[in-house]
Amino acid sequence: MERRRRERRNQTIAPALECMTGKEFPADIRDEFLEGGAEIDLVRSGLEDVMRSTWGRIADLMEQQPELGDYRTAAYVASIRQIADAYEAIGI
């Protein structure tokens, strides 16, 4: 859905830029600009966001509780807490 929204926005921006500058986009650049990223690029971007936020939680946990010993254990603890929070949110 985000991809389609971005494509529509770019379809508005491209003609506006051409009008303002008096020049046309080169065809190869225009096509890439209007189409936006490929679906796999969006998936990879989303995965990167999840990995960064997860790493942040694990690193924070290690800083707060160094007795956990290693990042693997901290990752387990963070995961179990996240599952517990999800269960609590739905009343289990």
Boundaries of every domain in the chain: 1-37, 39-92
Kindly report, residue by residue over 25-81, the tens digit of the pLDDT. Answer: 777 777 777 776 677 877 888 899 999 999 999 999 999 999 999 999 999 999 999
How many Å apart are CA 88 and CA 49, to the nearest integer? 25
Answer yes or no: are the C-beta atoms of 37 and 7 closer than 8 Å: no
- pLDDT band for 1, please (50, 70, 90 cuts): low
Query: Which amino acid is located at 72 in the chain?
Result: R
The alpha-carbon radius of gyration of the chain (Å, integer) is 22
